[in-house]
């Protein structure tokens, strides 16, 4: 998985999620860490979720409650990506690659179509 393929905002959220897991003595960075980190970003999905009718404050509180249930370890070296978060990131990368291919195909098809039209 290549993290450089993600946006800088998403990379920042991943870093914040790792710091959050580390600060809470969680052995793994879980999807809940990432979602909470994204909600805490000024340019994250919070405004979009609010426009969609989601109570972002309630969601954030629920995520905090879930984080408190995660296991903790003392003296752990560095947190690792959980299996669930790894699978999620791989799915995101796969979807992004497919979207780029689709967009490239659409541009190429439109370009060929415009060149083949008689003027």
Q: Sign (positive/negative) of CA torsion 47, 48, 52, 58? A: negative
What pTM did the predictor assign?
Answer: 0.81
Q: What is the CATH number of the domain that holds 48?
A: 1.10.1780.10
Residues 69-113 have pLDDT tens digits of 999 998 767 899 999 999 999 998 888 888 777 766 766 666 666
Question: Which segments of 1-119 are extended strands (E)?
Answer: 28-29, 80-81
Residues 34-67 have pLDDT tens digits of 999 999 998 889 989 999 999 999 999 999 999 9
* Closest-CA residue to 7 (of 52, 51, 41): 41
Q: Do residues 26 and 66 make contact, with C-beta atoms less than 8 angstroms apart?
A: no
Helices (H) and strands (E) in the chain, counts: 5, 2
Residue with tokens 């060929």: 112
Q: What residues make up the domain containing 106? A: 3-116
Tally the domains of the chain.
1
Select the more confidently predicted residue: 116 or 64. 64
């Amino acid at each position: 998985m290549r993290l450089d393929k993600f946006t800088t905002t998403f990379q920042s959220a991943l870093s914040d999620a790792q710091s959050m897991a580390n600060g809470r003595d969680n052995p793994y960075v879980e999807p809940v860490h990432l979602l909470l980190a994204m909600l805490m970003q000024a340019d994250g999905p919070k405004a979009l979720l609010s426009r969609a009718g989601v109570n972002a404050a309630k969601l954030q509180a629920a995520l905090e409650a879930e984080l408190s249930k995660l296991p903790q370890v003392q003296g752990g070296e560095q947190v690792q990506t959980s299996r669930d978060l790894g699978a999620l990131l791989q799915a995101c990368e796969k979807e992004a690659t497919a979207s780029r291919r689709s967009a490239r195909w659409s541009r190429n098809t439109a370009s060929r179509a415009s060149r083949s039209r008689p003027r």
